[in-house]
């Protein structure tokens, strides 16, 4: 989004001092990995401040603040716990929040004792999430950036990326994988999905998956979007274990692979232009995992 706000320490200090003077003595500092949709800051040792970075992300803040307190007690891992809801003011026009700080490092940055155990724990978390009551839950749509909606919403983006990558990858094979992903839709009642199960939103503490954060894209619909982590992060043996533990049907698994493919293709296309070597490597790694698993299930 092009309308991102400049969110800095003085702004956060202003918001805390004017709205929550009981915490005015607490030190504020940026977190090491702040994220894209929201900006996050430490508030003392036990709290964090989370602010939408642009107007398009404000529905996520309101949704998290309403639903996380209702979902959290039923989930097997800690998730962000709202402590106080901040209000818009003359210097920051959006709703924002203060949360309990969750210890741990993003999964891509912290050592993991066993990837198989990590995969098993994550599958249990997602299976539990999918079984929660969906009454009045937010149906997949713009607020979730269409996570949980039919994968076809991103067909145009994917086809454009494939055309641009003709000289870089086996686009015929990619089109076959994409076509299989598009060949089905979720036919069951909507279930809860997280919407952004990425290594940066999975915290590791003492070598184990310890918390799941950033529910801004959550909603109810097709849970296939939550399967992309199988190709973006899990090695092949742990991917197979993840699939066994979560037990999606074959069509849902194929759609999950499609979500991973879409993101890898648009990432590769973008960063071949920007020259971001880390992002290029990340996208190619995902594509290799997708191809390997598609050709040898």
Q: What is the DSSP string of 220-271?
A: EE-GGGGGTHHHHT--HHHHHHHHHHH---HHHHHHHHHHHHHHHHHHHHHH
For residue 290, CA distances in Å to 66, 75, 284 come to: 36, 29, 10
**pLDDT at residue 95 in the model:** 92
Residue 74, C-beta contacts closer than 8 angstroms, at least 6 positions apart: 128, 132
pLDDT for res 230: 98
Report the alpha-carbon angle 216-218-219, nearest 5.
Answer: 135
Residue with tokens 């299930």, as numbered in its chain: 297
> Which alpha helices (H) appear in the chain, and where do they start and end?
9-19, 58-71, 115-130, 155-164, 171-182, 229-232, 236-246, 250-274, 277-295
Contact between 210 and 204 (Cβ < 8 Å)? yes
Using DSSP's 3-state secondary structure scheme, residue 82 falls into strand
Crossing angle (nearest 10°) for helices 155-164 and 171-182? 170
Q: Print pLDDT tens along the chain (297 aa).
A: 446 788 999 999 999 999 999 999 999 999 877 666 789 999 999 999 999 988 888 888 889 999 999 999 999 999 999 999 999 999 999 999 999 999 999 998 879 999 999 999 999 999 999 999 999 999 999 999 999 999 999 999 999 999 999 999 999 999 999 999 999 999 999 999 999 999 999 999 999 999 999 999 999 999 999 999 999 999 999 999 999 999 999 999 999 999 999 999 999 999 999 999 999 999 999 999 999 999 987
Cα 49 from Cα 151, distance rounded (Å): 33
pLDDT of residue 59: 86
Domains present along the chain, CATH in parentheses: 9-102 (3.30.200.20), 106-295 (3.90.1200.10)
pLDDT at residue 2, rounded to an integer: 43
CB atoms under 10 Å from CB of 44, counted, come to: 13
3-state SS class at 35: coil
pTM score: 0.94
């Amino acid at each position: 989004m092009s309308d991102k706000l400049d969110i800095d320490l003085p702004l956060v200090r202003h918001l805390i001092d004017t709205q929550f003077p009981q915490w005015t003595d607490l030190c504020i500092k940026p977190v090491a990995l702040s994220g894209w949709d929201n900006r996050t800051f430490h508030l003392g040792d036990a709290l964090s401040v989370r602010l939408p970075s642009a107007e398009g992300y404000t529905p996520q803040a309101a949704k998290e603040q309403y639903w996380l307190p209702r979902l959290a007690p039923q989930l097997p891992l800690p998730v962000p716990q709202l402590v106080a809801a901040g209000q818009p003011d003359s210097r920051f026009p959006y709703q924002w929040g203060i949360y309990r700080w969750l210890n741990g490092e993003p999964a891509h940055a912290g050592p993991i004792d066993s990837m198989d155990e990590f995969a098993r724990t994550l599958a249990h978390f997602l299976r539990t999430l999918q079984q929660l009551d969906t009454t009045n839950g937010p149906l997949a749509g713009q607020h979730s950036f269409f996570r949980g909606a039919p994968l076809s919403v991103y067909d145009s983006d994917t086809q454009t990326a494939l055309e641009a990558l003709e000289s870089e990858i086996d686009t015929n094979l990619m089109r076959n994988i994409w076509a299989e992903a598009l060949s089905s839709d979720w036919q069951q009642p909507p279930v809860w999905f997280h919407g952004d199960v990425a290594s940066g939103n999975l915290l590791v503490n003492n070598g184990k998956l310890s918390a799941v954060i950033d529910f801004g894209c959550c909603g109810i619909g097709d849970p296939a979007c939550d399967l992309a982590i199988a190709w973006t992060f899990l090695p092949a043996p742990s991917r197979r274990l993840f699939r066994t533990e979560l037990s999606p049907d074959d069509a849902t698994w194929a759609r999950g692979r499609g979500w991973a493919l879409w993101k890898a293709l648009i990432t590769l296309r973008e960063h071949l232009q920007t020259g971001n070597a880390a992002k290029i490597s990340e996208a190619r790694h995902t594509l290799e995992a997708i191809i390997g698993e598609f050709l040898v299930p």
